[in-house]
C-alpha cells in the first residue's frame, strides 16, 4: 500500500517464514523507483502493483527488512510489524484481512512511525486465540420454507440469529456482534415481513429471535431473502425465504424436480429429484466442488455441491424437457462453487427462446458457495420445454430445476370424471382405492405405442412423494405395482402420469 524509505534505488521485499525456520521466503519486491510512494509498483515492471500470493503450510510469520512479526526476533524485543484489523467503508470488519505497518528497527533513522512499508494481507488468521471477528448464523434453519398458504392468509416462522464466536482456552474471546438492522429483498419481498430486532448486541454464543410472516397476495411460487446487517462481515447474513400461494380454486403443484449434473435420481430434503441425463444437450460436464464445504443459505447442501456445467469454455448447454403444452413456473437453483471473485462465470439464460437472465453472475449476487434461486414463468407450445444457457465468461453452472403448474381444482375434478366415463381416451386407474398407503396398482391404457411415461405421487400441498418411469406396450397400455418406501399418511394424493402426449391425473385416497 505504501513505501516510505530511501529513494530512488532502495527496494524492500515482503517475506514470510515457516514457524521454527530461520530462512525467509520472498513473496515480492517493489520497484526501486517507488521508495517514496503510495501503491508502489512491482519490481521490474512499469505498471503492475507490488503484490503477490503465498501458500504456507502451518503457522508462519512475516519479515519486512530487519523487522519480524515475532517481536522476540527483533532488536531489543521491540515491535517492528504492527497488525491492524481491516474495516470497510460501512464500518464493518472484513474477516481475515489485516493491514501490516512496519518500521525499521535498530538503525539511526528509527522513529517508530510505522509507515516505512504498509501492506494489505488477506486470507490469514492468528495461530491461536481470537480471530477478532464473529460470524452470524441462522438457527435452526439456514432457509425458511413456508407451507402452502391461501392468498390473504398468513403463516409465521420464528428462527434465531446467533453469534457463532468462540471463547478460547487462552482467555480471549471473539468479538461481540453489533446488529445494524433487518430487511427483506427479492422479487416477492412485499409478501414477506419480519419483526424489528429485539437487541442490538450479541455476545459470543448469544441469540435473538426473528419472526418472519408470509402473506401471499397471489397464486404462485414465492421467493425473497431476509438480510441481517451486522458489523463483523463485509456482507449481511442472507436467509432465503420460500413459499407457495394457493387459493380456494387454484393450487400450485410440483410437476418435476430435476438435479443438475446427475446421472441417477436422488432424494434431497425428502424430495425426489430426477436425473437430468435424458434432458441435457449441448456441451456437458458433470461438475462438483473441488474441496467440499458447506453451502450458505440452504439446509440441503447436496442440491448445490454438484452441478451441470459445460465441457468447453463459452459453449452452449441446454435442457430439452418433454412436457404437455401449457403454462409453467420454473425455479432454477444456482451456487458458485469454483470462482471466488466476480466476473469469472457469466452466462445468459433463455426459456422457450425468451431471455430470462442476461449476463448473470452468481458470485456478484450472493458470493462464494451460497444458494441462489431464480423463478420464472413460461408457456410450452411444442411439447418440449427448452432452456438454453449461453456463457460470455467461463461456462454455465446450474444445480437443479423445479417445475410447477397451477391447476384449477374444479377443472381437475371434472377431468377425472371424464376420464372415468370416456373409454376412448387414455386413462389411468389406481386400485385399491381407498388404500392403506403401503402400496397400490396402476393400469394405464390408450397411451401411445411404447410411450415413455413419468408417474409422480404428490400430496395436496404439492410435495412430491415419489416418481416412477415406465413404458407402455405396443397397445399403449401398462400395468404397475407401486411399493411405497414408507407408509403414506391419511389424506388425498394426486397421481400424475406425464408423457409427451400430455398429462393425466387421478386421485388416491389413503384411509
> Coil, strand or helix: which one is 216?
coil
pLDDT tens-digit readout, 284-304: 999 999 999 999 999 999 999
Distance, in Å, from the CA atom of 348 to the CA atom of 1, rounded to the nearest integer, reads 37
pLDDT in the model for residue 419? 42
**For 52-71, what is each residue's pLDDT tens digit?**
999 998 999 999 998 999 99
Strand ranges in 339-462 using DSSP code E only, listed in sequence order: 346-351, 354-360, 372-380, 384-393, 400-408, 427-431, 439-445, 452-459
User: What DSSP letter does each residue of 315-345 carry, written as one string?
Assistant: --EEEEEE--SEEEEEEEEE---S--STTSS
Whether residue 140 has a cis bond before it, omega within 30° of 0 = yes
Q: Which residue has the higher pLDDT, 511 or 294?
A: 294
Q: DSSP assignment, residue 20?
A: T
Q: Which stretches within 312-471 are classed as H helix?
A: 362-366, 409-421
Q: What is the C-alpha separation between 64 and 83, in angstroms, rounded?
A: 13
Q: Distance (Å, rounded) from C-alpha 178 to C-alpha 203?
A: 9
The most distant pair of C-alpha atoms in the chain lies apart, rounded to whole Å, by: 104
Q: Is the dihedral of CA 127, 130, 135, 140 positive or negative?
A: positive
- Which grid coordinates are listed for 285? 460436464
Pick from 326, 377, 334, 342: which is nearest to 356 by CA? 377
CATH architecture assignment, domain 249-411: Sandwich (2.60)
Report the pLDDT value the prediction gives residue 226, as an integer from 0 to 100: 98
Q: Tell me, what's the pLDDT at 410?
A: 53
Q: CA 199 from chain center: how many Å?
A: 28
Q: What is the pLDDT of residue 422?
A: 41
Peptide bond before residue 8 is cis, with ω within 30 degrees of 0? yes
pLDDT of 411? 47
- The grid coordinates listed for 333 are 437453483
Mean pLDDT is lowest, of 283-287, 350-354, 411-415, 433-437, for 411-415
Residues 87 and 256: their CA atoms lie apart, in Å, by 46
pLDDT per position as a tens digit, 101-130: 999 998 888 889 999 999 999 999 999 888
CA distances, 69 to each of 17, 63, 82, 384, 408 (Å): 10, 6, 7, 64, 70
pLDDT band at residue 399 using 50, 70 and 90 as cut-offs: very high
Neighbours of 218 (CB within 10 A): 11
- Sequence ranges of the domains in the chain: 2-122, 132-246, 249-411, 422-510
d(CA 173, CA 279): 52
- For the chain, what is the total number of helices (H) and then of strands (E)? 2, 39
Class for domain 422-510, per CATH?
Answer: mainly beta
pLDDT score at 423: 41
Strand spans (E) along 123-270? 136-139, 144-145, 149-150, 155-163, 177-185, 192-194, 201-202, 207-214, 220-230, 237-246, 250-259, 266-268
Whether the per-residue pLDDT at 393 is higher than 70: the answer is yes
Q: Which CATH superfamily is domain 132-246 in?
A: Immunoglobulins (2.60.40.10)
Mean pLDDT over the full length of the chain: 91
Is 422-510 in the same CATH topology as 132-246?
yes
Within 8 A by CB and 6+ apart from 457, the residues are: 464, 465, 466, 467, 482, 493, 494, 495, 496, 508
Work out the number of other CB atoms within 10 angstroms of the CB of residue 13.
Answer: 18
In Å, how far are 24, 26, 81, 274, 346 from 101, measured between CA atoms?
Answer: 18, 17, 6, 55, 37
Euclidean distance between the first and final Cα of the chain, in Å?
A: 73
In the beta sheet, which residues pair with residue 87? Answer: 93
pTM exceeds 0.85 for this model: no
Amino acid at each position: 500500500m505504501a513505501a516510505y524509505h530511501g529513494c530512488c534505488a532502495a527496494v524492500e521485499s515482503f517475506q514470510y517464514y515457516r514457524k521454527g525456520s530461520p530462512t525467509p521466503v520472498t513473496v515480492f519486491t517493489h520497484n526501486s523507483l517507488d521508495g517514496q510512494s503510495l501503491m508502489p509498483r512491482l519490481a521490474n515492471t512499469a505498471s503492475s502493483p507490488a503484490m503477490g500470493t503465498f501458500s504456507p503450510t502451518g503457522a508462519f510469520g512475516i519479515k519486512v527488512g530487519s523487522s519480524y512479526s515475532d517481536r522476540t526476533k527483533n532488536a531489543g524485543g521491540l515491535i517492528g510489524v504492527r497488525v491492524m484489523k481491516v474495516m470497510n467503508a460501512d464500518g464493518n470488519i472484513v474477516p481475515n484481512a489485516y493491514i501490516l505497518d512496519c518500521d525499521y528497527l535498530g538503525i539511526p533513522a528509527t522513529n517508530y512511525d510505522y509507515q516505512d512499508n504498509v501492506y494489505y494481507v488477506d486470507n490469514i488468521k492468528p495461530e491461536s486465540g481470537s480471530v477478532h471477528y464473529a460470524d452470524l448464523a441462522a438457527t435452526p434453519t439456514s432457509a425458511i420454507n413456508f407451507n402452502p398458504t391461501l392468498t390473504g392468509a398468513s403463516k409465521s416462522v420464528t428462527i434465531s440469529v446467533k453469534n457463532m464466536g468462540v471463547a478460547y482456552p487462552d482467555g480471549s474471546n471473539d468479538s461481540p456482534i453489533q446488529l445494524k438492522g433487518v430487511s427483506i429483498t427479492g422479487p416477492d419481498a412485499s409478501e414477506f415481513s419480519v419483526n424489528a430486532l429485539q437487541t442490538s448486541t450479541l455476545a459470543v454464543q448469544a441469540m435473538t429471535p426473528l419472526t418472519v410472516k408470509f402473506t401471499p397476495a397471489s397464486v404462485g411460487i414465492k421467493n425473497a431473502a431476509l438480510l441481517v446487517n451486522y458489523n463483523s462481515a463485509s456482507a449481511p447474513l442472507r436467509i432465503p425465504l420460500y413459499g407457495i400461494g394457493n387459493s380456494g380454486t387454484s393450487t400450485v403443484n410440483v410437476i418435476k424436480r430435476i438435479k443438475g449434473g446427475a446421472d441417477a435420481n436422488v432424494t434431497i430434503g425428502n424430495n425426489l429429484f430426477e436425473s437430468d441425463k435424458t434432458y441435457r444437450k449441448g456441451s456437458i460436464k458433470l461438475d462438483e466442488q473441488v474441496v467440499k464445504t458447506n453451502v450458505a443459505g440452504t439446509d440441503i447442501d447436496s442440491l448445490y455441491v454438484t452441478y451441470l456445467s459445460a465441457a468447453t469454455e463459452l459453449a452452449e448447454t441446454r435442457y430439452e424437457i418433454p412436457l404437455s403444452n401449457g403454462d409453467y413456473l420454473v425455479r432454477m437453483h444456482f451456487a458458485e462453487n469454483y470462482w471466488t471473485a466476480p466476473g469469472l462465470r457469466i452466462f445468459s439464460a433463455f426459456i422457450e427462446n425468451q431471455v430470462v437472465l442476461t449476463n448473470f453472475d452468481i458470485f456478484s449476487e450472493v458470493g462464494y458457495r451460497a444458494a441462489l434461486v431464480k423463478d420464472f414463468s413460461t408457456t410450452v407450445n411444442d411439447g418440449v420445454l427448452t432452456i438454453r444457457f449461453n456463457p460470455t465468461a467461463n461456462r454455465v453452472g446450474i444445480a437443479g430445476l423445479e417445475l410447477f403448474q397451477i391447476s384449477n381444482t374444479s377443472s381437475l375434478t371434472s377431468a377425472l370424471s371424464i376420464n372415468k366415463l370416456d373409454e376412448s381416451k387414455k386413462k389411468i386407474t389406481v386400485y385399491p382405492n381407498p388404500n392403506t398407503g403401503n402400496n397400490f396398482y396402476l393400469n394405464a391404457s390408450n397411451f401411445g405405442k411404447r410411450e415413455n411415461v413419468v408417474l409422480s405421487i404428490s400430496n395436496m400441498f404439492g410435495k412430491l412423494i415419489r416418481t416412477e418411469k415406465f413404458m407402455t406396450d405396443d397397445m399403449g397400455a401398462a400395468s404397475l405395482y407401486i411399493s411405497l418406501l414408507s407408509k403414506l399418511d391419511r389424506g388425498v394424493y394426486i397421481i400424475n402420469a406425464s408423457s409427451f402426449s400430455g398429462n393425466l391425473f387421478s386421485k388416491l385416497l389413503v384411509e
